[in-house]
Amino acid sequence: MNKTVLHLDKIQKSFGGLRALADVNLNIEEAKTHAIIGPNGAGKSTLLNVCVGRLIPDSGHATFDGKDITGKDPHEITQMGIARVFQTPEIFPDLSLMDNVMLPALSKRDGSFKFNPFATMRTQNDIRDEAVHILQDVGLDKFLDKEAGSLSRGDKRRLELGMCLILKPRLLLLDEPTAGMARHDTNQTIELLKKIKERGMTIVIIEHDMHVVFSLADTVSVLARGKIIAGGTPEEVREDPIVKEAYLGGAHE
């Protein structure tokens, strides 16, 4: 069994009288792709928000690489090695693609060195070179100086992925990364995520497109009404009658 990099222990979260998460236990193994599926309103995005510090659970604990991250600020969790791609691309539309990818890396620098314009220039040049490589990886290197806001939805999703990759995270959280994409863009994204996984990165993906899930996932957990109702390999989950009833549409599918 691989090392557990993210562990969620009895996570609960309510909004008023609505319980979004109820005693969620989850282990994410290192260098694996773990998909979380479930119907709309199941609590999937709430779960990711807990993992990245945007929400504090009412009870329970989240640990990353053995360290408690419950209640930590989002920037602290990012520094520890967790990055997230959101449902709606969070990019800087008026900036170039190059600037979009460089900004997260520049913001992550600790700033501990005394000001030295030559050292600063060298650091920025290193980050610029890395940004070019990242944009090549995500297939956007032809548009380095293009304004990000002019990109198609699929390209915006890939740009945001590049903004996460330059942070060199150990754990990448993806919230419906192919939502709204044409099939061609979806297939490109699948191939890109396969390459990222081959480099040893741990990935958690929330996705409604079962073609994406079954193409990428080593393990699948099914969330419904705030609870994990099933889990296992994609094949095991595909054949689970509880899952078919709750999410996949019934036994005939």
**Domain-by-domain residue ranges, the chain?**
1-81+169-253, 94-168
105-129 pLDDT tens trace:
888 764 443 445 445 545 688 899 9
Note the pLDDT of residue 241: 86
Per-residue confidence at 252, pLDDT binned at 50, 70, 90?
Answer: very low
Three-class secondary structure of residue 162 per DSSP: helix
Average pLDDT over residues 66-75: 94
Per-residue confidence at 248, pLDDT binned at 50, 70, 90?
Answer: low
Residue 103's Cβ-count burial label (10 Å; 0-12, 13-18, 19+) is middle
User: How far is 249 from 247, CA to CA, in rounded Å?
Assistant: 6
Is the pLDDT score of 154 beyond 60?
Answer: yes
Note the pLDDT of residue 123: 65
Average pLDDT over residues 205-226: 94
Tell me how crowded residue 150 is: count the other CB atoms within 10 A of its CB: 11
Identify which has the larger pLDDT, 111 or 36: 36
Single-letter residue type at 14: S
How much of the chain exceeds pLDDT 90, in percent? 71
User: How far is 9 from 6, CA to CA, in rounded Å?
Assistant: 10
Note the pLDDT of residue 10: 97
CATH superfamily of 1-81+169-253: P-loop containing nucleotide triphosphate hydrolases (3.40.50.300)
Note the pLDDT of residue 250: 44
